[in-house]
Chains A and B, each alone.
Chain A
Amino acid sequence: MSGSDQIPVSIESSASCSGKPRDYGNARAVLGQIRHALERLIASGEETRIDLNAMPFGPGDLEHLTNCLGTGEVQASVEALGPTRIQETAIPGVWLVDYLNAENQRLTLHIEIANVPQILCPQPQDLALAIDRLDARLDGTPAPNTPPLSS
């Protein structure tokens, strides 16, 4: 016996154990920023990216933000330097872009206010090579590292 059983232990329920995420009110400011960004997207097409890693969120603030934005119809994943998970929110034009490394640790988490998240679009330098790449396939000499769609 270590004697530790002599120490009285009482179990209390507290706000942090109630199962409901705590809200420190910091998500509201970001939601306001998203609203302004949406106005700019609609009026002029200007896109906005917000780095949620740079926000002084308390426990529960991020959950409050994502709960408020909800879940939309589109999910996408990009495999480059580890996975990147893209989730449309219930607000059209507002996307959650979660950048992860190969060990599934978060590199950064962005809110993107855009028609299509930037990482899903073909990159301009790649697009410039697209016809050459297709022509090579039409000639029957596919370039290395570009597997056919069926693979």
Chain B
Amino acid sequence: MAARETPDKTLGESLRDIGLSRRGFLKFCAATASMMALPPSMAPAIAAALEQARRPSVIWLSFQECTGCTESLTRSHSPSVEELIFDFISLDYHHTLQAAAGEAAEAARLQAMEANRGEYLVIVDGSIPGPDANPGFSTVAGHSNYDILMETVEHAAAVIAVGTCAAFGGLPQAKPNPTGAMSVMDLVKDKPVINVSGCPPIPMVITGVLAHYLTFGRLPELDAYHRPMAFYGQSIHDRCYRRPFYDKGLFADSFDDEGAKLGWCLYRLGCKGPTTFNACATMRWNAGTSWPIESGHPCLGCSEPSFWDGGGFYEPVSVPIGTSTTTLLEAAAVGAVAGAGIATVARKGKKDAVKTRQPVTIEELEQKL
């Protein structure tokens, strides 16, 4: 996968080159509107924008993660991952998907950064051991995740944190957070950061955010947690097809009782739908086949901050919804301020070091957290 400049051809020209008819393009736009959670009436505006769109260069960085987010992306069916790579973006660096390895891979990243300075997108999956943590917890080509992240985002147009680990710290940050894991927005303060949370995120949401950037040349409207409103604007509970049972007070009390068989509300079995914001209820999983609640399992709340430490998965949400949301927002605000302070102090000390980035040393590996 050779690094290259953003192609000169627009998307409209590229699609016509492969023989796509105008009806095919209309269909492409209808599917794209659906993918971006926009109404079908937006299709003409999307068509006009896509006609002129140019594929952005994308650098995908993987840190403390399980590759579940990439696994999810490769199961995107509209567009497929191949269509995504060939039509929507120029994927210039991705550990798992790229053919290059070793020094050639790192050279591709640096080339893409240089050729598309100020215009490329950085996608991050996985959390990052903070600047004060032992850098040896996670390295790429011998360099700490923190150094690689800060070097790569310096001239990026925007950063997209894919998955709850990159967005909020996720599983690596769960108590007692042995690696000092931090999220992207804890560390990157001078670039737009979009959080596409979920463990993993819905594949169509990942591609939808990229399609939005490609179509409109700007980032989508975000919520208080930097998540795109189009996908995270409503709670699972409010979009759940089982919501009428909640309103009627009809609940499943165990996984095999009559209520469970009749498809009643799973609130008492620990469903975190009331405090979770995501698009599962409408976009579903596995090419639109189903989603956890349709399969009879409560929502775990995987797209929310600290969901691993939020109490038992099978314990009912025990606090009023309003209080919970407010508390979470306040907690996030405190966390963001603390994170900003840490990152600012860290940047001062690290700024010169990044310029002459050095591999992690034995002494650093031996230091205690």
Chain A contact residues, CB within 8 Å of chain B: 14-16, 22, 24-26, 49-51, 53-59, 61, 78, 80-82, 84, 99, 101, 103, 105-108, 110, 118-119, 123, 125-126, 145
Asked if residues A99 and B30 are in contact (CB atoms below 8 Å), the reply is yes
Which residues 33-74 of B have a CB within 8 angstroms of A?
33-34, 37, 39-41, 43
Mind listing 30 A-B residue pairs with CB under 8 Å? A15-B262, A15-B263, A16-B263, A22-B263, A24-B241, A24-B263, A49-B41, A49-B43, A50-B40, A51-B34, A51-B39, A53-B283, A53-B288, A54-B34, A54-B39, A56-B239, A80-B20, A81-B27, A81-B28, A82-B27, A99-B27, A99-B31, A101-B78, A101-B80, A105-B77, A108-B30, A108-B33, A108-B78, A119-B23, A125-B22
Q: What residue of chain B has the Cβ atom nearest to residue A144's Cβ?
A: B19
Given A16-B261, A99-B27, A99-B30, is A123 in contact with B20 using a C-beta cutoff of 8 Å? no
20 more A-B residue pairs beyond the given contacts A108-B34, A123-B23, with a C-beta to C-beta distance below 8 A: A15-B263, A49-B39, A49-B40, A50-B40, A53-B288, A54-B37, A56-B239, A58-B263, A58-B294, A80-B24, A81-B20, A81-B27, A103-B77, A105-B77, A106-B287, A107-B30, A107-B34, A108-B33, A119-B26, A123-B26
Given A50-B40, A51-B40, A55-B282, is A107 in contact with B244 using a C-beta cutoff of 8 Å? no
Tally the A-B contacts, defined by beta carbons under 8 Å. 94
Q: How far is the CA of A24 from the CA of B261 in the complex (A)?
A: 14
Q: How far is the CA of A61 from the CA of B239 in the complex (A)?
A: 14
Q: How far is the CA of A56 from the CA of B22 in the complex (A)?
A: 31
Chain B contact residues, CB within 8 Å of chain A: 19-24, 26-28, 30-31, 33-34, 37, 39-41, 43, 77-78, 80, 239-242, 244, 261-263, 281-283, 287-288, 294
Question: Which residue of the partner chain, among A22, A26, A105, A125, contacts B287 with CB atoms under 8 Å?
Answer: A105
Q: What residue of chain B has the Cβ atom nearest to residue A47's Cβ?
A: B41
Asked if residues B19 and A145 are in contact (CB atoms below 8 Å), the reply is yes
Asked if residues A26 and B40 are in contact (CB atoms below 8 Å), the reply is no
* Chain B contact residues: helix, strand, loop or mixed: helix
Q: What residue of chain A has the Cβ atom nearest to residue B22's Cβ?
A: A123
- Closest CB in chain A relative to B54 CB, distance in Å: 21
Q: How far is the CA of A103 from the CA of B239 in the complex (A)?
A: 29
Q: What residue of chain A has the Cβ atom nearest to residue B15's Cβ?
A: A81
CB-defined contacts of A84 to chain B, threshold 8 Å? 27
CB-defined contacts of B240 to chain A, threshold 8 Å? 56
Q: What residue of chain A has the Cβ atom nearest to residue B41's Cβ?
A: A49
Question: Which residue of the partner chain, among B23, B24, B241, contacts A61 with CB atoms under 8 Å?
Answer: B241
Asked if residues A108 and B23 are in contact (CB atoms below 8 Å), the reply is no
CB-defined contacts of B23 to chain A, threshold 8 Å? 78, 80, 119, 123
- Closest CB in chain A relative to B342 CB, distance in Å: 40
- Closest CB in chain A relative to B288 CB, distance in Å: 6
Asked if residues B244 and A59 are in contact (CB atoms below 8 Å), the reply is no
* Minimum-distance CB pairs A-B, first 5: A58-B241, A80-B24, A49-B40, A108-B34, A107-B31
Asked if residues A56 and B281 are in contact (CB atoms below 8 Å), the reply is yes
Asked if residues A25 and B261 are in contact (CB atoms below 8 Å), the reply is no
Question: Which residue of the partner chain, among B27, B41, B244, B288, contacts A119 with CB atoms under 8 Å?
Answer: B27
Asked if residues B241 and A57 are in contact (CB atoms below 8 Å), the reply is yes
